[in-house]
């Protein structure tokens, strides 16, 4: 079996309050489907009170718009070969909703079921220096505790430079005007790179299992 015939399973997991990370995750999910991956687009549960949500029309509208997107569960993490997270920056770290979900993963971590999965992270903030890099770095620190294989985009494609040059993951400046073309290309590249590494890992594991079976 060669790399192209392997169909990796990827969970694209996001939190979004005004739409930027929902759009980013949707772009990644579509790119993954085009790359012959089995894809689950999932949102983390909302924890903010209704009063806060209703105080911002765009927040309320997004919740209504994405009502049919399933919420991520621990079985989704166990199912996936690859995980791609997208979260807004909040005070230099991931949004509390994303952190609250991650804090529920202890049973999977404790049983080793998150180890050796490939992972990558994307983020957004309202300005270019709003904490995107620290958000990505602290997310990766958490994912290292899981024993995952980190797959940042690095400087592996010109799209990274065009989108602002962040080697840790695509970081979008949320202006309310959506995700620009340069960022879309960076998201597609980051997704492609994640799946390429995932396929290599799956192929290697299969070869090891076949070799062990022959011994």
pLDDT tens digits along 71-118: 999 999 999 999 999 999 999 999 999 999 999 999 999 999 999 999
Residue 3 has pLDDT above 60, yes or no: no
143 vs 7, 102, 146, CA distance in Å?
A: 23, 9, 5
CA torsion 41-88-84-141 (nearest 10°) is -150
pLDDT of residue 2: 55
Tell me how many domains the chain contains: 1
Q: What is the CATH number of the domain that holds 163?
A: 3.40.50.360
- Most distant CA pair in the chain, distance: 65
Q: What values do phi and psi take at 159, rounded to 5? A: -60, -25
User: For residues 135 and 35, what is the distance between their CA atoms, to the nearest angstrom?
Assistant: 28
**CB-CB neighbours of 157 under 10 Å:** 17
Residue 140 per-residue DSSP state: H
Structural domain boundaries, residue 55: 3-214
Mean pLDDT within 203-211: 84
Do residues 135 and 89 make contact, with C-beta atoms less than 8 angstroms apart? yes
Whether pLDDT at 4 is above 80: no
Least confident of 3-7, 58-62, 105-109: 3-7
- Distance between CA atoms of residues 167 and 164, nearest Å: 9
φ, ψ of residue 141 to 5 degrees: the values are -60, -45
What is the structure's pLDDT at 109? 96
Closest-CA residue to 200 (of 1, 14, 18): 1
Query: Nearest 5 degrees, angle CA 124-CA 125-CA 131?
Result: 100
What confidence tier does 215 reach under pLDDT thresholds 50, 70, 90? confident
Cα dihedral 177, 157, 90, 78, rounded to 10, equals: 110
pTM of the predicted structure, to 2 decimals:
0.94
Q: Which of 48-52, 55-59, 127-131, 210-214 has the lowest mean pLDDT?
A: 210-214
pLDDT value of residue 208: 80
What is the average pLDDT across 135-157?
97
- Looking at residue 116, its pLDDT comes to 96
pLDDT over threshold 90, residue 57:
no
Residue entry with tokens 């990274």 = 160
Tokens of residue 40, six digits: 């689950």
| pLDDT tens digits, one per residue of 166-200 | 999 999 988 777 899 999 999 999 999 999 999 99
| pLDDT of residue 142 exceeding 90 | yes
């Amino acid at each position: 079996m060669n790399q192209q015939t392997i169909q990796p399973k990827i969970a694209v997991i996001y939190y979004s309050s005004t739409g930027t990370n929902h759009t980013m995750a949707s772009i990644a999910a579509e790119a993954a489907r085009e790359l012959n991956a089995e894809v689950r687009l999932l949102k983390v549960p909302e924890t903010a009170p209704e009063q806060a949500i209703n105080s911002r029309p765009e927040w309320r509208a997004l919740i209504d718009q994405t009502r049919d997107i399933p919420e991520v569960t621990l079985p989704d993490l166990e199912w996936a070969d690859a995980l791609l997270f997208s979260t807004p920056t909040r005070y230099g770290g991931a949004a509390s909703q994303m952190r609250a979900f991650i804090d529920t993963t202890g049973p999977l971590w404790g049983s080793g079921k998150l180890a050796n999965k490939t992972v990558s992270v994307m983020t957004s903030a309202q300005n270019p220096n709003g904490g995107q890099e620290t958000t990505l770095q602290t997310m990766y620190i958490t994912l290292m505790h899981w024993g995952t294989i980190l797959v940042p985009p690095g400087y592996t494609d010109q799209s990274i430079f065009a989108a602002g040059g962040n080697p840790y993951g695509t970081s979008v400046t949320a202006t309310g005007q959506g995700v620009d073309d340069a960022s879309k290309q960076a998201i597609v590249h980051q997704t492609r790179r994640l799946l390429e590494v995932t396929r290599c890992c799956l192929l290697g594991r299969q070869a090891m299992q076949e070799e062990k079976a022959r011994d």
